[in-house]
Amino acid sequence: MSQEPQEERRALVVEDDDDVRALIEFTLSTQGFVVQAVDSGLAGIEAVRTFDPDLITLDVGLPGIDGIETCRRIREFADAYIIMITARDDEIDRLLGLETGADDYLSKPFSVRELKARVNALFRRPRRGVGAVASQQPVAVPDHEVLEHGRLRVDVDGRRAFNGTLELALTRTEFDLLAELMRTPARVWTREALLRSVWGTDWASDTHLVEVHIGNLRRKLEGDSGEGRHIRTVRGVGYRMESVDS
Ligand code: CA
């Protein structure tokens, strides 16, 4: 597939802290984005309608409606990439459980380098419109990459995953993680390798992000037991897929 010649990319920054907003605005503009910045959730939702961004950074702690509710409302009509920014590290676990529809999470303080890497990683991923954008014509179905392993089946292009006949409700990141594991089911993945592959970073401190997502993915595959039948922990190394037939 050939790349469109230098199409304009737009980013929206929703952040009430002036310093952080200026930092993100500046960082994204150096990455070639046309940037708009607002300081509240409602202004953010309005800006998504009028500005139609490809990327949104969304602070969790906002005055008025918070970032989580803002994210939900944006997801009803837009499929831009969303990076949630939280002031608390431990909040990421809670956010992931809420299925806000965000694509990635960053905790403050973050480095400019980290923000850039996260953005680059998101834009390397294949994209597909959300169901909410229903007015668009259905696109022609390309050759589907379908991965199968035991009971699990992942339709990569359709971005749907199944356990037997049950369709799994995965976030974008959980889906990408599962697809990556299923592409090479015999491989033992280290957390660092998964970080590089799925998130595009390799800072060891982020391996917690992998563990949290693996935990969520296991719960969605196996219910609350989440004991790792499908995704095995290889002690001292990382993870690998197990073929589960029943
Ligand atoms: Ca804030």
pLDDT tens across the length of the chain (246 residues):
445 455 789 999 999 999 999 999 999 999 999 999 999 999 999 999 999 999 999 999 999 999 999 998 998 888 788 999 988 766 766 676 566 778 788 888 888 998 998 898 888 765 544 433 333 444 444 567 899 999 999 998 888 999 999 999 887 778 889 999 999 888 999 998 898 888 776 665 567 778 878 888 898 888 766 677 899 998 888 999 988 877
Q: Which domains does the chain have, with CATH numbers?
A: 9-122 (3.40.50.2300), 146-241 (1.10.10.10)
Sheet holding 166-168, edge to edge: 146-149, 152-155, 160-163, 166-168
Cα separation, 118 vs 105, whole angstroms: 9
Distance 159 CA to ligand 1 centre (A): 32
Model-wide pTM > 0.85: no
Distance 149 CA to ligand 1 centre (A): 43
- Residue 78: the pLDDT is 84
- Residue 107: the pLDDT is 86
- Residue 196: the pLDDT is 84
Q: Which amino acid is at 141?
A: V
Judged by phi (left if over 0) then psi (alpha if -120 to 50, else beta), residue 99 lies in left
90 φ/ψ angles, rounded to the nearest 5 degrees: -70, -10
Displacement of CA 148 from its chain's centroid (Å): 22
Distance 86 CA to ligand 1 centre (A): 8
Displacement of CA 184 from its chain's centroid (Å): 21
Inter-CA distances, 182 with 49, 99, 176, 191, 197, Å: 37, 22, 10, 15, 13
Distance 104 CA to ligand 1 centre (A): 17
Distance 40 CA to ligand 1 centre (A): 9
Displacement of CA 92 from its chain's centroid (Å): 12
- Residue 202: the pLDDT is 63
Contact 26, 14 (CB under 8 A): no
Contact 75, 49 (CB under 8 A): no
First-to-last CA distance in the chain? Answer: 39
Contact 110, 59 (CB under 8 A): no
The three-state secondary structure class of 9 is: strand
